[in-house]
Amino acid sequence: MTVPAHDLQRVAEVISKAITTCSLQSAMVADTSTLSLDKLLSLSFDELGFDSLNFMEFCIALHLDLGLELSIGEVASLRTLGAVADRVLTRSPAR
């Protein structure tokens, strides 16, 4: 990662919250709130047991919290939460 730590921390918090928000009955979503930043960002969607509905809710949560619209296909192709954080930071308007 080549981004300022405080930006990454904020995006990670949003991602962690999005994971909680998008958990559905059918998903094997772990409690991510207790994980370290590194551990959280290393998680893959496979490990989280994401299905298409989880991806949709995850994208919606990112949209509402960050104002950034990513498609399911785009997020799914990124594979890990860390890659999503990278994408968010490179596409977010400068703050």
Positions that interact with other proteins (CB under 8 A): 24-26, 46, 52-53, 56, 59-61, 63-67, 69-74, 76-77
Please tell me what DSSP assigns to residue 27: -
CB closer to other proteins out of 26 and 42: 26
Written as six digits, the tokens of 6 are 């405080």
Q: Residue 70 Cβ, how far from other proteins at the closest point, in Å?
A: 8
Q: CA-to-CA distance for 16 and 35, rounded, in angstroms?
A: 9
Written as six digits, the tokens of 40 are 């959280």
CB closer to other proteins out of 3 and 60: 60
